[in-house]
């Protein structure tokens, strides 16, 4: 019965020209609806960064950023596409961890540092998140008012993690490397990395390579001439060995520390083009910063005292930042196994926390003669540095 009715309608359509046209229109409409539906479905699966919105600067910049990423993967279009499409919201941390760190820019013998260390900064393998782990969604993202600018292997991670305990400090976990490597991404990109802060809270970040980056002082000054700068310094000889130890852990085939130290072992000429050596000439790098910032705006934290008396150094830092001394002795305990002070409670946790295995590595034994030669090399620079800062760090 139904079948015959259908046949009847079909017949009627085929005979009447008006009905024929109406039928055709109906089919076209169905086709349009189908195409529209498919398109909406496709667009919804695209990552936001691939949708260029000319009215939105941030979006355009993000697309630029992805462009750079794409270039880096140009040899592997398949990889590039899968990375683009699976890019998580805070992908900059992953991109950063692919970076090698040119600690002194363009230094010809700069054995790089693997930033994947960041993932192991805590002893329980907790990944250092790109944002402060405390985020209540309120407040707004601001450019940092204080930055830990150096030095590499000085104890910068320990300082930042200790500072994060303070309720008036919010900090980015990973190193943004904005003023050295990512400057072209623009201030909006940089601000966007920051955690949200409420009125009165201080936004911070740490990137130890800034201290040895020629352009960094002018760039930070251009962001804000009031930025407070913190430098964790450590005996340059131990610092160099620590730097080398880190590289060795990633690249076991590199030459010995001794052979990298000298241009000529017989004459005892030190190779200052090796970044591990050059970073420790603190007076020279500081000079660069003093062209832009007054000494009163730079705080030097002793890397040694940060280990022997963390609460004391943290007291100085809190004063410098104009904060109430909330982080005190009560926050620390000395972990005998680790051999370092640890937090009784880390930020956003009720459990004790030490830094991970990439912090506090066992250093290789360096020939005492080489160590002595390095001490002699650094002495005049250290003296100059003590004079400039008005503080004897006791490295000699």
Ligand X SMILES: Nc1ncnc2c1ncn2[C@@H]1O[C@H](COP(=O)(O)OS(=O)(=O)O)[C@@H](OP(=O)(O)O)[C@H]1O
Q: Give the phi and the psi of residue 157 in degrees, each rounded to 5.
A: -70, -45
Which residue from 359, 377, 382, 385 is in contact with ligand X, where contact means CB under 6 A?
A: 359
Given phi > 0 = left and psi -120 to 50 = alpha, else beta, which region is 200? left
Which of 181, 191, 174 is CA-nearest to residue 215? 181
- Residue 158 in the binding site for ligand X (CB under 6 A): yes
Tell me the catalytic residues.
153
Stretch that binds ligand X, among 75-83, 150-158, 218-226, 366-374 (CB under 6 A): 150-158
User: Least Å distance between CB 246 and ligand X?
Assistant: 6
Q: Is 362 annotated as belonging to a binding site?
A: yes
Binding ligand X (rule: CB under 6 A), the pick from 320, 340, 393, 395 is 340
110: which 2 tokens?
A: 């700069």
Query: C-beta of 144: minimal distance to ligand X in Å?
Result: 17
| Shortest reach from residue 313's CB to ligand X, in Å | 10
Q: Does 8 engage in binding with ligand X (CB under 6 A)? A: no
Q: Is 355 in the site for ligand X (CB under 6 A)?
A: yes
d(CA 29, CA 25): 6
Give whichever of 139 and 360 is closer to ligand X, judged by the CB atom: 360
Using rule CB under 6 A, residue 345 touches ligand X: no
- Binding span for ligand X by CB under 6 A among 86-94, 148-156, 223-231, 372-380: 148-156
Q: Is 152 in the site for ligand X (CB under 6 A)?
A: yes
Q: 3-state SS string over 243-284?
A: HHHHHHHHCCCCCCHHHHHEEECCCCEECCCCHHHHCCCHHH
Distance CA 233, CA 226 (A): 22
| Residue 196 near ligand X by CB under 6 A | no
- Using the rule CB under 6 A, is 149 a contact of ligand X? no
- Torsions phi, psi of 194, nearest 5? -75, 150
When asked if residue 157 is in the footprint of ligand X (CB under 6 A), the reply is yes
Residue 87: CB minimum distance to ligand X, A: 25
299 binds ligand X (CB under 6 A): no
| Residue 242 sits in the site that holds ligand X (CB under 6 A) | yes
Candidate segments 214-222, 259-267, 291-299, 353-361, binder of ligand X by CB under 6 A: 353-361
Q: Is residue 360 within the footprint of ligand X (CB under 6 A)?
A: yes
- Round to whole Å and give the CA distance between 137 and 331: 27
| 234 known member of a binding site | yes
Q: How many helices (H) and strands (E) does the chain have?
A: 15, 11
For residue 151, whether the previous peptide bond is cis, meaning omega lies within 30 degrees of 0, is: yes
Is it true that the peptide bond before 93 is cis, omega within 30 degrees of 0?
no
One residue of 93, 156, 213, 389 binding ligand X per CB under 6 A:
156
What residues contact residue 147 under an 8 Å CB cut-off, 6+ apart? Answer: 204, 205, 206, 207, 210, 220, 227, 228, 229, 230
Binding of residue 391 to ligand X (CB under 6 A):
no
Residue 361 is a binding residue for ligand X (CB under 6 A): yes
Burial (Cβ within 10 Å: 0-12, 13-18, ≥19) of residue 296: exposed
Size of interface with ligand X, in residues (CB under 6 A): 19
Please state, in angstroms and as integers, the Cα–Cα distance from residue 367 to each residue in 103, 373, 374, following that order.
Answer: 25, 10, 11
CA neighbor of 239 nearest in space, from 274, 288, 279: 279
Q: 153, 164, 177, 285: which one contacts ligand X (CB under 6 A)? A: 153
Q: Which is nearer to ligand X, 229 or 306 (CB)?
A: 306
Query: Residues interacting with ligand X, by CB under 6 A?
Result: 117, 152-158, 208, 242, 245, 306-307, 340-341, 355, 359-361
Which residues are annotated binding-site positions for 3'-phosphoadenylyl sulfate?
153-157, 234, 242, 359-363
Which residues are annotated binding-site positions?
153-157, 234, 242, 359-363
């Amino acid at each position: 019965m139904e079948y015959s009715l259908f046949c009847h309608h079909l017949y009627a359509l085929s005979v009447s020209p008006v009905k024929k046209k109406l039928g055709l229109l109906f089919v076209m409409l169905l086709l349009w609806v189908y195409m529209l539906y498919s398109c909406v479905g496709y667009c919804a699966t695209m990552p936001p960064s691939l949708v260029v919105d000319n009215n939105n600067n941030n979006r355009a910049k993000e697309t630029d950023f992805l462009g750079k990423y794409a270039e880096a993967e140009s040899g592997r279009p398949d990889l590039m596409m899968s990375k683009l499409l699976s890019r998580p919201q805070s992908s900059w941390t992953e991109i950063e961890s692919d970076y090698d760190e040119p600690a002194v820019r363009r230094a010809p013998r700069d054995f790089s540092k693997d930033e994947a260390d960041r993932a192991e900064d805590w002893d329980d393998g907790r990944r250092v998140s790109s944002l402060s782990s405390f985020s209540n969604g309120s407040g707004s993202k601001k450019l940092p008012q204080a930055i830990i600018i150096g030095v590499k292997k000085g104890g910068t991670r320990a300082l930042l993690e200790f500072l994060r305990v303070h309720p008036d400090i919010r900090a980015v976990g990973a190193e943004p490397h904005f003023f050295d490597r990512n400057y072209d991404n623009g201030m909006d990109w940089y601000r966007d990395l920051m955690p949200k802060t409420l009125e009165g809270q201080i936004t911070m970040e740490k990137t130890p390579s800034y201290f040895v980056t020629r352009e960094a002082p002018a760039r930070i000054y251009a962001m804000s001439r009031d930025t407070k700068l913190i430098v964790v310094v450590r005996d340059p000889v131990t610092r160099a060995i620590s730097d080398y130890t880190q590289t060795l852990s990633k690249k076991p085939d590199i030459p010995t520390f001794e052979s990298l130290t000298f241009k000529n072992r017989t004459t005892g000429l030190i190779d200052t083009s090796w970044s591990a050596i050059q970073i420790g000439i603190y007076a020279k790098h500081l000079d660069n910063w003093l062209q832009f910032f007054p000494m009163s705006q730079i705080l030097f934290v002793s890397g040694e005292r940060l280990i022997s008396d963390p609460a004391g150094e943290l007291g100085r830092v809190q004063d410098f930042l104009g904060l109430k001394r909330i982080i005190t002795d009560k926050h620390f305990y000395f972990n005998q196994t680790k051999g370092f002070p640890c937090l009784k409670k880390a930020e956003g946790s009720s459990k004790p926390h030490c830094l991970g295995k990439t912090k506090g590595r066992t250093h290789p034994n360096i020939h005492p003669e080489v160590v002595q030669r390095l001490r002699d090399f650094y002495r005049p620079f250290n003296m100059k540095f003590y004079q400039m800062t008005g503080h004897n760090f006791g490295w000699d």
